[in-house]
């Protein structure tokens, strides 16, 4: 049997990496062995939790010959710095979303990955959800014909949680993470790009509507894609309950997905999570999928990433893919600020 892949963690700032560590602990072909964090208390806490070697010096961890790859889960404004350091040390990189806060930082990450030849993947959880995978397969096979409109909601209730939306939380810091639309809508932006390809334009409204803890709490972006399709991305950080997550309307059919984001997946199921209506049908075709709560979807991320590092699967999303997603988010912000439609690529 080949030796298991050995991984390090650069920062536990983004909590999803905790799930990755728990899941990988059950793998035979990979193990997380060491960690570094600029927050020493946080880093030592999780080092003890997962029985990792605590490394107080990042360069020392990256210099270890027995570490093959690293998760980068630091605050978003540190991503470029940490990815470049890891790549230049010859470590493969698994990067938590969003990729970066600027296109210049995205380009710096792409340059480092291409220059050093390390493997790189974004940790996009939407691509690991079997319901999302089925929707993509249905769209790709033409099950709904030519698409007119897709609406996708990606929502959380976090800004209504007074224990979470507090000063000091980097997720709501405009310097470290820009805003909640950047932090969370990036999931849905990648979903749209994965489903329909690159958009050609965007109009958006993003603002604080019912809270002031973060730079924004709700946003809607209206994207147009290469065949004229309209994509409606609705992101909210103030939703307590919801059901319909995705609506796909084509000239030959309709796809509905329910219970696909956090407010929806926490509710008792009342109907099929995924269904398709075709021209001439008398009823919906219902697919027998379980509801996939957000936590389960996050836990599904490590397996394809490890398979990628082993050369057995493609990346979840390349560095170039990650930049497209950031351009979609930055374009939405700029459109909202300037009150006009913007074309891609951004000038």
Write out residues in the chain with pLDDT < 70, as ranges: 1
Of 68, 85, 67, which Cα lies nearest the Cα of 119? Answer: 68
Q: How far is CA 333 from the centre of its chain?
A: 18
What pLDDT is recorded for position 1?
65
CATH number corresponding to 5-118: 3.40.50.720
Secondary structure E strands in the chain: 5-10, 30-36, 53-54, 69-72, 92-95, 120-122, 147-155, 199-207, 218-225, 230-236, 244-250, 253-258, 274-278, 285-287, 342-343
Of 122, 112, 74, 93, which Cα lies nearest the Cα of 323? Answer: 122
CATH 3.40.50.720 residue ranges in the chain? 5-118
What pLDDT is recorded for position 57?
97
What pLDDT is recorded for position 172?
96
CATH 3.30.360.10 residue ranges in the chain? 126-292+327-343
- Which CATH architecture group holds 126-292+327-343? 2-Layer Sandwich (3.30)
What pLDDT is recorded for position 117?
98
């Amino acid at each position: 049997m080949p030796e298991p892949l050995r991984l390090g963690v650069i920062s536990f700032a983004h909590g999803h990496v905790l799930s990755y560590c728990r899941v990988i602990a059950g793998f035979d072909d990979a193990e997380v062995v060491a960690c570094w964090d600029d927050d020493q208390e946080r880093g030592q806490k999780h080092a003890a939790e997962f029985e990792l070697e605590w490394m107080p010096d990042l360069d020392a961890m990256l210099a270890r010959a027995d570490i093959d790859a690293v998760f980068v889960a630091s605050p978003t404004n540190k991503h470029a710095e940490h990815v470049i350091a890891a790549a230049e040390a010859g470590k493969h990189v698994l990067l938590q979303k969003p990729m970066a806060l600027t296109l210049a930082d995205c380009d710096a990450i792409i340059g480092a990955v291409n220059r050093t030849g390390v493997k790189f993947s974004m940790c996009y959880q939407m691509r690991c959800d079997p319901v999302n995978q089925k929707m993509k397969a249905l769209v790709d096979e033409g099950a709904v014909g030519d698409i007119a409109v897709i609406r996708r909601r990606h929502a959380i209730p976090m800004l209504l949680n007074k224990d979470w939306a507090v000063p000091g939380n980097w997720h709501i810091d405009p310097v470290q993470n820009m805003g909640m639309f950047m932090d969370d809508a990036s999931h849905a932006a990648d979903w749209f790009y994965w489903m329909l390809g690159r958009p050609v334009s965007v109009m958006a409204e993003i603002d604080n509507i019912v809270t002031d803890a973060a730079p924004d709490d709700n946003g809607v972006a209206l994207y147009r894609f290469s065949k004229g399709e309209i994509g409606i991305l609705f992101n909210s950080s103030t939703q307590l309950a919801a059901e319909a997550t995705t609506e796909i309307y084509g000239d030959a059919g309709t796809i509905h997905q329910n219970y696909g984001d956090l407010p929806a997946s926490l509710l008792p199921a009342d109907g099929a999570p995924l269904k398709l209506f075709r021209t001439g049908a008398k009823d919906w075709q219902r697919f027998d999928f379980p509801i996939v709560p957000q936590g389960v979807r996050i836990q599904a991320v490590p397996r394809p990433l490890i398979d990628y590092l082993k050369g057995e699967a493609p990346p979840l999303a390349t560095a170039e893919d990650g930049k497209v997603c950031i351009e979609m988010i930055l374009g939405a912000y700029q459109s909202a600020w300037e009150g006009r439609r913007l074309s891609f690529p951004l000038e």
